[in-house]
Structure 1
């Protein structure tokens, strides 16, 4: 069993597809789903760290269907740590009303979690402690408090896998932009922590 991490899938969303080098969402989504189908094996766990789509209801329904197809084809278990574009993130007034819809695709849905990497506790949140792809930082009220633990995140669409918070804490970006449209293995993150 392998634990995989990815973020900012944006299935069906042209705005992030273009900077990733795709002219159409179909091309973007074909490459993304191809990589997931190729890499995931039965019993693997894929942690999607936010933003499965643009958040527009039709695109979100499509993204959920695509991810359910990947789950069914690979036998992997899917877990969502919701992002700002996901209707189930608690920042959205209707977050609870859509929860059951997401649970038809994902085994679990949360706004944050922790895990151990290299023997130390790490935070998993769509948001880094500090940083954004716009200025100033958005959604600061939903960011984890920086107490020195590494954070595994998406949101920034950074091509850099590693950054540091203003307090010097390690930030590990698992956005598709940082990992060549592929998920990162937990072992890959451990290597960055050892770094």
Structure 2
């Protein structure tokens, strides 16, 4: 079993697709679908760190179908750490209403979790401690508190895999933009933690 991480797939969303060099959202989605299908094996776990789509209901439904197709084709288990564009993130007033719909695709849906990497606890969240692709940082009330544990995150669409918070804490970006449109293996993140 391998643990994989990705963030910000934005299925069906032309703006990120264009920023990633695709002429259409459909072309973007097809490459992402194939990359996920090619990486995952039965029993693997894929942690999707939010923003499966733009949040527009029909795009979100399509993203859920595509991710269910990935799950069914690979036998992997999918876990969502909801982002600001996901209807199930607690920042949205009707977030609980969408949980059953998301749980048809994902084994679990939450805003955050922790796991061990290189023997240390790491926070897993859509948001980093600090940083954004805009200035100033948005959604600060939903970000994890920096207590010194590394954070595995998305949200920023950064091409840099590694950054540091204002407190000097390691931040590992698993956005597709940092990993050439492919998911990151936990072992790859462990290498970054060791450096």
Q: Distance in 2 between matches of 1:148 and 1:39?
A: 31
Question: Does 1:114 find its partner at 2:140?
Answer: no
Query: Residues 106-148 of structure 1: CA distance to partner in whole angstroms, max 9, x if unpaired?
Result: 0000000000000000000100000000000000000000011
| TM-score (normalizing by structure 1) | 1.00
Q: Distance in 1 between matches of 2:27 and 2:152?
A: 27
Instruction: Quote the residue 2:53 is aligned against.
Output: 53
Q: Distance in 1 between matches of 2:115 and 2:13?
A: 30
Instruction: Quote the residue 1:130 is aligned against.
Output: 130
Instruction: Quote the residue 2:91 is aligned against.
Output: 91
Consecutive unaligned residues of structure 2, counting only runs of 5 or more, are none
Question: Does 1:17 find its partner at 2:9?
Answer: no
Q: Distance in 1 between matches of 2:15 and 2:92?
A: 22
Q: Distance in 2 between matches of 1:148 and 1:21?
A: 36
What is the RMSD of the two structures over their aligned residues, measured on CA atoms? 0.3
Instruction: Quote the residue 1:155 is aligned against.
Output: 155
Q: Distance in 2 between matches of 1:8 and 1:102?
A: 16
> After TM superposition, where is structure 1 displaced by more than 6 Å over at least 4 residues in a row?
none
Deviation at 1:19, TM superposition (A): 1.0
Deviation at 1:157, TM superposition (A): 0.0
SS at match of 1:73: helix
User: Number of matched residues?
Assistant: 195
Query: Residues 48-102 of structure 1: CA distance to partner in whole angstroms, max 9, x if unpaired?
Result: 0000000000000000000000100100000000000000000000000000000
Instruction: Quote the residue 2:69 is aligned against.
Output: 69
Q: Distance in 2 between matches of 1:37 and 1:187?
A: 19
